[in-house]
Amino acid sequence: MNTIILTGDRPSGSLHIGHYVGSLKDRVKLQEKGEMFVLIADIQAMTDNFDNPKLLKESSYEVLLDYLSVGINPMKSNIFLQSEIPELYELFTYFLNLISIHKLQHNPTIKTELNQKNFKTGLPLGFLAYPISQASDILAFKPTYVPVGADQIPVIEVTNDIVNKFNSIYAAEVFEKINPQLSDCPKLVGTDGLKKMSKSLGNAIYLKDSPDTIIRKIRKMRSDPEHIYIENPGKLEGNTVFEYLDIFYHDKENLLKLKNHYTKGGLSDGKIKDILAETLIEYLRPIRERREKLQKDRSYLNSVLRNGRERAREVTSKTLSEVRNAIGLASSQE
Amino acid sequence: MNTIILTGDRPSGSLHIGHYVGSLKDRVKLQEKGEMFVLIADIQAMTDNFDNPKLLKESSYEVLLDYLSVGINPMKSNIFLQSEIPELYELFTYFLNLISIHKLQHNPTIKTELNQKNFKTGLPLGFLAYPISQASDILAFKPTYVPVGADQIPVIEVTNDIVNKFNSIYAAEVFEKINPQLSDCPKLVGTDGLKKMSKSLGNAIYLKDSPDTIIRKIRKMRSDPEHIYIENPGKLEGNTVFEYLDIFYHDKENLLKLKNHYTKGGLSDGKIKDILAETLIEYLRPIRERREKLQKDRSYLNSVLRNGRERAREVTSKTLSEVRNAIGLASSQE
């Protein structure tokens, strides 16, 4: 059996270094191990951004640029827009009959998200149904490898409920249970040092950030708030600057020296922030340079999406025929 | 502006004479007044029959045969399967974001239906979403004329909610408010004389019923239960046999004589039932004969559905592009 890898992101902004260390870097390696499908989940993003479609359009291209800049290779991986795969809408419609409202309303991930959101005119059906949309995205590709974050596990359970129900109601073996692969990549804390890096918390450094922006964000980064005088010892625990250096600074020997100096006293927070800024600027330079070059070429970007779409539809239309055969609706094509 | 007429039925069995007098007869006339689209709503029928897809397949062809037999002319009208129009799935997905769960749960039509149904494992999302599926079917065709029954009015209000929300959120004028035309056709009571004719109540005479079946059903029909002795006067009120004769018996003068005779006494219930049976058998003969001929020709039936599909997709894909433009998602085709 071929290895099929399914990953993707909701386009609700461009991607940050938290995405990079937590998943993108891993995908660049994964694309060597099988056929990878990378979904820009604009239809899912609509479920809580339906009143802000401009954001979705811009973000779809931002996310695509991020993918290409970090090294997801369109000659190896299929990058496509969810909204451009008609088969996904149809699968979604069939799957809607298999899951109860009660079950979704009691799903832990959905419950958490509902507490964070504020739908002004009541909870729209589309939002409650997003795990079913996600299930369609996953199952359409029959992937053998689905890397996910721990917070997404309950949503994957909805996918497996659908697998069980579909196969049993339609006496078919169209789908197999999905075993999501929990990422062992580090979760990057935000520049505030308090929470996971996230756009909505305003604590993110983006892959596209300019050197100036990086310097500015790192100057405000949490280090050791009690380290007022340079000559005093500084603390490493809870020191976000050193957390980042652990990840991005390559000369581990020199890093140890810096840590010793800092904890003994005599190394200023300004100095370690300068070192981190320089490190990150260098780390992101090739990504930023590729991004700047690619972003001028919308017609190339669209050709990447068109190729991805074509291959994605080859796979999803095959799954859809199996689904239609299993259900056995009338067909004028017979 | 061209007149576009949108009608249809859920395929959950073949159609009966209640459908005929209440709507099909009217459609045969309507097809002369504009372009008619007749939707076999198999996706909607799945929302409460998803676990019985065989019924849906058979019923889709039954309903098609009924349409053609009563005189819906595929040279004038477009008859098609809802499931074969990909644009409808996509519109449906967009519209799901515009209506809240609360609103649907408090819709009078849905509330009544939920009380009648018994979903064993909780209310599936698909069923609650069917008014949104119906809204997609309607709006995709931008119809100028939508004939509906009174019980469907609250569901049409969901369609108009979507029109308002879509146009306002996406600052577009893609859709116009739908003004449903309430049918002035009579509602036919069932053979039990108690309720509207309906498959689920087992009180229906089908367009395809054989003469023997018609005779058998009419023998059991409610007439005047207190009319025990032929020589006694019989009552016309609540007498289903005479209700049917009023609709199907063409010689109004003779019908008046029969009524006089019955109310004076001396005319048996068996006799008037025989007259009704003969009347209905004759009335349905041309329909039944066309039906018998057509049902052997599955390849003709499929060609009707393919032609209907082609024309339906011409219209729905135009609407879908307008919708996509209004929303403004990313597009690799640009």
Looking at beta carbons, which residues of chain A come within 8 Å of B54?
Answer: 328
Residues A115 and A155 in one domain: yes
Is residue A266 one of the residues assigned to a domain? yes
Tokens of A44: 């899912």
Average pLDDT for chain A: 94
Tally of structural domains, chain B: 2
Determine the residue of chain B that is closest to A97 in CA distance.
B126
Please state at what angle helix B269-294 crosses helix B211-219, rounded to 10 degrees: 150
User: How far apart are the CA of B95 and the nearest CA of chain A, in angstroms?
Assistant: 8
Subunit contact A170:B61, Cβ cutoff 8 A: no
Determine contact: A197 vs chain B, CB below 8 A: no
Same domain, A117 and A215: no
Q: How far is A133 from chain B (nearest CA, A)?
A: 9
**Is A318 domain-assigned?**
yes
Q: Does A320 touch chain B (CB under 8 A)?
A: no
Residues in chain B: 334
Distance from C-alpha of B13 to C-alpha of B198, rounded to nearest angstrom: 10
* Interface contact flag, A332 B84, Cβ < 8 Å: yes
Q: Is A114's pLDDT higher than 90?
A: no
Same domain membership, residue B232 and residue B137: no
Å from A121 to nearest chain B CA?
7
B119 at A interface, C-beta within 8 A: yes
Nearest neighbour of A132 by CB, restricted to B100, B103, B125: B125
CB contact under 8 A, A99 and B129: no
**CATH classification of the domain holding B219:** 1.10.240.10
**Of the partner residues A50, A100, A303, the one whose CB lies closest to the CB of residue B123:** A100
A122 close to B (CB below 8 A)? yes
> Structure pTM?
0.94
B150 plus B273 within the same structural domain: no
pLDDT of residue B89: 98
Give how far the C-alpha of residue A10 lies from the chain's centroid of Cα atoms, to the nearest Å. 7
Residue from the list A101, A104, A330 with its beta carbon closest to the beta carbon of B42: A330
Residues of chain B contacting residue A80, judged by C-beta atoms under 8 Å apart: 332
pLDDT tens-digit series, residues A229-287: 999 999 999 999 999 999 999 999 999 999 999 999 999 999 999 999 999 999 999 99
Considering the domain architecture, whether residues B74 and B223 belong to the same structural domain is answered as no
Instruction: Give the integer Cα–Cα distance in Å for A61 and A45.
Output: 14
Mean pLDDT, to the nearest integer, of A107-123? 84
* Per-residue confidence (pLDDT) for residue A149, from 0 to 100: 83
With a CB cutoff of 8 Å and minimum separation 6, the contacts of B14 are B59, B62, B63, B65, B66, B206, B207, B208
| Contact at CB, A43 and B93, closer than 8 angstroms | yes
Q: Which of B125, B164, B306, B323 to mutate to test the interface with A (most CBs of A within 10 A)?
A: B125
Residue B296, burial from CB neighbour count under 10 angstroms (0-12, 13-18, 19+): exposed
Q: Give the nearest partner residue to A53 out of B46, B86, B329, using CB atoms.
A: B329
Regarding whether A305 and A260 lie in a shared domain, the answer is no
In a domain, A199, yes or no: no
Domain membership of residue B332 (yes or no) is: no
List all residues 6 or more positions away from A65 whose beta carbon is below 8 Å from its beta carbon.
A14, A208, A291, A294, A295, A301
Q: What CATH number does residue B171 fall under?
A: 3.40.50.620
Q: What is the pLDDT of residue A290?
A: 96
Residue A203: inside a domain: no
ipTM value > 0.90: yes
Q: Does A106 touch chain B (CB under 8 A)?
A: no
User: What torsion, rounded to 10 degrees, do the Cα atoms B315, B319, B325, B328 define?
Assistant: -120
Q: Is the domain of B129 the same as that of B83?
A: yes
pLDDT number for residue A1: 64
Q: Which of B61, B128, B170 sits opposite A330 (nearest CB)?
A: B61
Sign of CA dihedral B125, B131, B133, B139: negative
- Domain interval for residue A285: 209-292
End-to-end CA distance of chain A: 30
Domain shared by B225 and B114, yes or no? no
Q: Give the torsion through C-alpha atoms of A272, A274, A276, A278, to 10 deg.
A: -150
Encode pLDDT of A175-214 as tens digits.
999 998 987 777 889 999 888 898 888 999 999 999 999 9
User: Which chain A residue has its CA at the smallest distance from B85's CA?
Assistant: A90
Neighboring chain B residues of A329 at a CB cutoff of 8 Å: 42, 46, 53, 56-57, 60, 81, 83
A56 → closest Cβ in B93, B104, B329:
B329
Q: Is residue B193 part of a domain?
A: no
Task: Let me know if residue B203 belongs to a domain.
Answer: no
**A97 contacts chain B (CB < 8 A):** yes
Chain B nearest-CA distance from A107, in A, is 14
Among A43, A57, A100, the residue with its CB nearest the CB of B328 is A57
The answer to whether B248 faces chain A, any CB pair under 8 Å, is no
Q: Which residue in B86, B99, B334 is closest to A86 by CB distance? A: B86
Domain co-membership, B13 together with B146: yes
Residues A125 and A140 in one domain: yes
Structure tokens at A158: 């909805």
Residue keyed to tokens 């000369």? A251
Confidence (pLDDT) at A299: 96
Contact status of A126 with chain B (Cβ, < 8 Å): yes
Q: How would you classify the pairing of strands B146-148 and B77-81?
A: unpaired
Q: Which residues contact B56 (CB under 8 A, 6 or more apart)?
A: A329, A330, B11, B12, B42, B45, B46, B49
- Nearest CA of chain B to the CA of A73: how many Å? 18
Cβ distance A129 to B330 less than 8 Å, yes or no, reads no
* Average pLDDT along chain B, 334 residues, taken 10 residues at a time: 91 94 93 97 95 92 98 97 98 97 90 82 92 97 92 90 96 94 83 88 95 96 92 94 95 96 95 97 97 95 98 98 96 91
Answer whether A102 sits within 8 Å of B86, measured CB to CB.
no
Chain A, nearest residue to B309 by Cα: A332
Between residues 141 and 180 of chain B, which touch chain A (CB distance below 8 Å)?
Answer: 169-170
Chain A partners within 8 Å of B47 (Cβ): 97
Whether B245 is covered by a domain: the verdict is yes
- B41 with B164, same domain? yes
Determine, for residues A124 and B81 on separate chains, whether the beta-carbon distance falls below 8 Å: no
Q: What is the pLDDT of residue A195?
A: 86
A167 and A312 housed in the same domain: yes
Q: Choose the closest CB to A99 out of B42, B102, B124.
A: B124
